[in-house]
Structure 1
Amino acid sequence: MLDKSIREIERERLGLQNQKKLIVEIKKNAKQAQMGAVRMMAKDLIRTRHQIEKFYKLKSQL
């Protein structure tokens, strides 16, 4: 059961790490000077990175 939980956490973490599209979108909007959208997407990216750290901590506790 623990192994299953660890696999699920890993799967979610890998899904979150594949946010390369978001980084490309941020750069594209920055070039177009749409700073409101860039700021919102950057905050979302930071939240995602914090979630990834939490998944690492959770996995180590399991």
Structure 2
Amino acid sequence: MKLSEVQDRYEAILHNIPSGQAQDKALSDLMDDMKREFDVPLLQDLAWEREHPAVIAMYRKIANTRTFDY
């Protein structure tokens, strides 16, 4: 998986799934896929983040989009 594919999936989720539980689940699944594909650490690791700034930026963008309003 490339970061551009993550971006494409992110945009598809936002445009095709209404806000709420279904969208949050889809975003959560995307975050899980990123954890596996890019070895995103479970706890904050500043050294890892310095080495992978684009990955962590996208991961945080997805996390900040989630609403948990259900």
TM-score w.r.t. the length of structure 2 is 0.45
Contact 2:24-2:66 within 8 A present in 1 as well: yes
Query: Counterpart of 2:58 in structure 1: which amino acid?
Result: Q
Pick the structure with greater CA Rg: 1
Alignment counterpart, residue 47 of structure 1, candidates 21, 40, 54 = 54
Q: Structure 1: which 5+ residue stretches go unaligned?
A: 21-41
Aligned residues: percent identity?
A: 3
Residues 22-33 of structure 1 aligned to structure 2 (within 5 Å): none
Residues 1-40 of structure 1 aligned to structure 2 (within 5 Å): 1=18, 2-18=20-36, 19-20=38-39
Q: Deviations over 1:15-49 (max 9, x none)?
A: 112213xxxxxxxxxxxxxxxxxxxxx4xx32111
Contact 2:24-2:67 within 8 A present in 1 as well: no
CA 1:48 to 1:10, structure 2 compared with 1: closer, same or farther past 3 Å? same
Offset at residue 61 of structure 1 (A): 7.4
Q: Structure 2: which 5+ residue stretches go unaligned?
A: 1-17, 40-50
TM-score w.r.t. the length of structure 1 is 0.50
Give runs of ≥4 in structure 1 deviating > 3 Å: none
Query: Counterpart of 1:58?
Result: 65
- SS of 1:9 mapped into structure 2: helix
Number of corresponding residues:
39
